[in-house]
Structures are given as C-alpha cells and as structure tokens.
Amino acid sequence: MIKSVLLDLDGTVYRGTEPVPGASKFIKRLREKGLDCLFVTNRANRSAETVCRILREMDIECEVENLLTSAQATASHLPPGKFYYIGEEPLRDALIERGHTFSEDEPDYVIVGYDPFLTYQKLEKATLFLRAGAKFIGTNPDKVLYTEYGIIPGNGATLAALTVASEVEPTIIGKPERVIIDIALQQLKILPQEALLVGDSIETDVRAGLNSGVPTALILTGVSSRQDLEKSEVQPDWVVENFEELEELIFSA
C-alpha cells in the first residue's frame, strides 16, 4: 500500500518557470487522501525555502519539511567535518546548518554541486585537496542541464574534470544513488515498498528507485520518452503520460 509519494521537481512538477499541467491538482488530491508528498530534487543550488516559494507561486502546496534537496541530503549524510566546496550558497548553508565547517586548510571533504560561477582556481584548489586525501563528494551526477536556450554542462561535467585531475572517484549523494532516497524514507518513517517514486528521467529517477527498492512511475512530462524506454535496460514499474493518469494509477489501486 502506498503511503507516500516521492516526487521529482524539474521536468516533473515544473519545466523552467512553468508548472506541469495537473501538478497542483494532483498534490492537493494526495493531501486530501492523507498521503504524504515529499519533493526530492537533485538540485543543490536552491534552498528549501526558495524552492517552496517557487512552488507556492505555481499554486503548489509546499512547506520546508515537504522538501529534500541533494544539498540537505549531503549535509545530513556526512559526519560533521571541515569542507571545501564548489557550488552556490545554499549548499554551503545546508552544510553549516548541520555542523560542518567551511575550510581551505586541509578539509575533510571536497563537496561539489552545480556552480555557474565555476573557475579554474576552484578546480585547482579542489584537485590539490583531493590529492592530499580529502573525501570527494558529489551532490548529484547530472551531466547536463536542459535550459530554454539549449543543453549546458551540469554538475557531472565538473565531477568528471576533477576525477580526471585527481584520480579519485566521487561518492554521489543524489539520484540515481540510493543515499538521498534512504534519507527520504527515514524522514517519512516508511518502508521502501510503502513509497512511490515519480519522476521524468529513466537514468536518475527510475534508476534511483531500483537502487533503493522503491517502486517507480515514469511520467512523460520531461526528459525521457517512450522511445528512450524501448532502448533502456532500466524499466519503471509504471509509465504515465501525465498527472491525470498518475492520479488514476494511485487512487484506483
């Protein structure tokens, strides 16, 4: 029996600045039926408060406790220590909130999130720290970002550069790895089989469900298509075109 829905954001609930049709109604229906909804996103460059404000502006109900970002997951997963980071302020703030300390003096961790202001100097420092023994942590492995003006490098591109330079492989916290999903399940106090993970990407969302034992529904509102499914070894439990079909799937079960 489904008790909670783990819902991806980019490409699932919204596309850029526009909500996906039916998302608001679906989330209201979940709440009316007493089901939890936790938004689980690979984004580390927006605070939970900022994401909630964006969702509310789209008429989508959200409180901070309804959201889990890869920055929050990273901060809660790692034992407190000294960190150097590549990323934006919400990543740093999430880490400091959890008792970590920013340091450029022999950090325990090099933590890497998406950084639109990436410089060679940041890569240089991170590489030196990694070669000196710091643990290499990636908030998410997303290779590219889909924007209104085309496809651009994502966090995975930065991780790849550092992996080549340092000869160290990163530990990934966000989807498709199970770490962020395990944290979501702990937060909701439910078992994997009591959740449904819904997202638009075979490679991140569906694979995360497989890695963590959570049933998955691929919604065809974003990255992945039926043609992609035909070519993929990774398969979801269900495929839905839109939120109307997802609602029918959940409430007719």
Question: What is this structure's pTM?
Answer: 0.94
Q: How far apart are CA 237 and CA 36, in angstroms?
A: 20
Structural domain count of the chain: 2
Task: Supply φ then ψ for residue 159, to 5 degrees.
Answer: -60, -40
**Is residue 59 a part of any domain in this protein?**
no
| pLDDT 10s digits, 224-241 | 999 999 999 999 999 999
Same domain? For 128 and 103 the reply is: yes
Closest to 76 (Cα-Cα) out of 183, 170, 172, 181: 183
Same domain? For 152 and 200 the reply is: no
CATH number, domain containing residue 248: 3.40.50.1000
Q: CB of 110 within 8 A of CB of 84?
A: yes
Whole-number pLDDT of residue 1: 81
**Is residue 74 a part of any domain in this protein?**
no
Amino acid type, 20: V
Q: Where among 172, 197, 228 does a domain terminate?
A: 172
Q: How far apart are CA 83 and CA 208, in angstroms?
A: 26
pLDDT averages per 10-residue partition of the chain, 253 residues: 94 91 96 95 94 95 95 98 98 98 97 97 98 98 81 93 98 98 97 97 97 98 94 97 96 76
**Is residue 57 a part of any domain in this protein?**
no
Q: CB of 246 within 8 A of CB of 197?
A: no
